[in-house]
């Protein structure tokens, strides 16, 4: 009887470990701007900046719906380094040797509303900013176009 219980426990533990292993990579590692910039440069990835504010309802909807989609997460983890930046709070950003506040950086990037998504090739070459909420299908389409643009520029 003890052997049966031990076997069942072993099976349960196996499935729990399998689930936890397969769950790795199924989340986004949101970084601060400076950490994300360094990581994007080192890994030669595209830096994606999610410009948001605490009061923005569409930002919260994008967090809840778009950034939790498995296809979006997998695609972002493969090609991008992701940063959340609140222009109303973040300070001490360094871009092209300049110390900027989040508001100054957002203005430089052309952010006119929230949410907005900015892209930087290898973390430094500004590619553009896309304003507004995007659902998961629209977002995957955008991400694919950004990756294709980077690949064709090589």
pTM: 0.81
Owner of token pair 């957002």? 106
Q: Which two tokens stand for residue 81?
A: 């380094």
Q: Is the pLDDT of residue 24 over 50?
A: no
Quote the CA–CA distance of 61 and 50 in Å, as a whole number. Answer: 13
Q: How confident is the model at residue 145 (pLDDT cuts 50, 70, 90)?
A: very high
Q: How confident is the model at residue 111 (pLDDT cuts 50, 70, 90)?
A: very high
Q: What is the mean pLDDT of the chain?
A: 86
Q: What is the pLDDT of residue 4?
A: 54
SS (H, E, C) the chain: CHHHHHHHHHHHHHHHHHHHHHHCCCCCCCECHHHHHHHHHHHCCEEEEEECCCCCHHHHHHHHHHCCCHHHHHHHHHHEEEEEECCCCCCCEEECCEEECHHHHHHHHCCCCCCEEEEEECCCEEEEEEECCCCHHHHHHHHHHHHHHHHHHC
Quote the CA–CA distance of 118 and 147 in Å, as a whole number. Answer: 13
Please report the domains of the chain, with CATH numbers, ordered by start residue.
29-153 (3.40.30.10)
Q: How confident is the model at residue 15 (pLDDT cuts 50, 70, 90)?
A: very low
Q: Is the pLDDT of residue 119 over 70?
A: yes
In the Cβ-directed half-sphere of 3, how many Cα atoms lie within 13 Å? 0
The predicted-structure confidence for 27-79, as pLDDT tens digits, reads as follows 999 999 999 999 999 999 999 999 999 999 999 999 999 999 999 999 999 99
Q: Is the pLDDT of residue 7 over 50?
A: no
Q: Is the pLDDT of residue 21 over 50?
A: no
b/e burial code for range 106-117 (CB count within 10 A of at least 16 → b): bebbebeebbbb
């Amino acid at each position: 009887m003890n052997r049966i219980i031990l076997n069942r426990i072993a099976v349960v533990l196996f499935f729990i470990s399998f689930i936890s292993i397969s769950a790795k990579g199924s989340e986004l590692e949101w970084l601060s701007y400076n950490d994300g910039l360094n990581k994007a440069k080192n890994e030669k990835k595209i830096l994606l900046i999610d410009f948001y504010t605490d009061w923005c309802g569409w930002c919260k909807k994008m967090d809840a719906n778009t950034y939790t989609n498995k296809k979006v997460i997998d695609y972002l983890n493969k090609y991008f380094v992701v940063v959340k930046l609140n222009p109303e709070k973040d300070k001490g950003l360094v871009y092209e040797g300049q110390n900027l506040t989040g508001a100054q950086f957002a203005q430089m990037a052309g952010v006119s509303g929230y949410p907005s998504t900015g892209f930087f090739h290898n973390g430094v070459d500004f590619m553009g900013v896309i304003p507004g909420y995007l659902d998961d299908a629209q977002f995957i389409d955008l991400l694919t176009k950004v990756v294709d643009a980077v690949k064709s520029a090589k």
